[in-house]
Structure formats: structure tokens, C-alpha cells
Amino acid sequence: MSSFFKNELKGVKAFAFDVDGVFTNGTIYLHPSGEMLRTANMRDGYAVQLALKMNFPLAIISGGNRRA
């Protein structure tokens, strides 16, 4: 990673993610009940909890209409 890029990252103040565009690979599983299930990469979860520990504001957005 170039030092220029590292310097640019120092200006990051917050993060905003779209669940379907960042945390999933686009695969949807159908539960026998008909409910749609998504998978997420555990590395993304690690990065989110690390950002929270470092006091970064986070916004996680979804077009879904169900509560987690």
C-alpha cells in the first residue's frame, strides 16, 4: 500500500455500507418457511466491530423491510 493512500485514509471520519453491496456475495438461500436468508463474511463483522471500538460512526443500510 502506498504511503499516499495511507495518508488519505487518515481523513476517514465515518463509514456507511449497503448490506447487499458490501457484506454479502449476492447469494440468497430460501428457508423451508419461505424466508430469505443471506450470508455474510465474518471478516466484515470483524472490521465493523474494530471500527466501533475505534469510535468511528457507522451506518449500515439495507433495502430490506425486515428487522434483524
The x, y and z cell numbers of residue 66, run together, are 425486515
Distance CA 49, CA 4 (A): 26
What integer pLDDT is reported at residue 36 of this predicted model?
A: 84
Cell 460512526 locates to 57
Is residue 20 situated within a structural domain? Answer: yes
- Structural domain count of the chain: 1
Grouping H, G, I as helix, E, B as strand and the rest as coil, residue 59 is strand
- pLDDT of the chain along its 68 residues, tens only? 677 888 888 889 999 988 777 788 778 889 999 888 888 888 888 989 999 999 999 998 877 666 54
Is residue 43 situated within a structural domain? Answer: yes
For residue 17, give its domain range. 13-61
What integer pLDDT is reported at residue 67 of this predicted model?
A: 56
Distance CA 21, CA 24 (A): 7
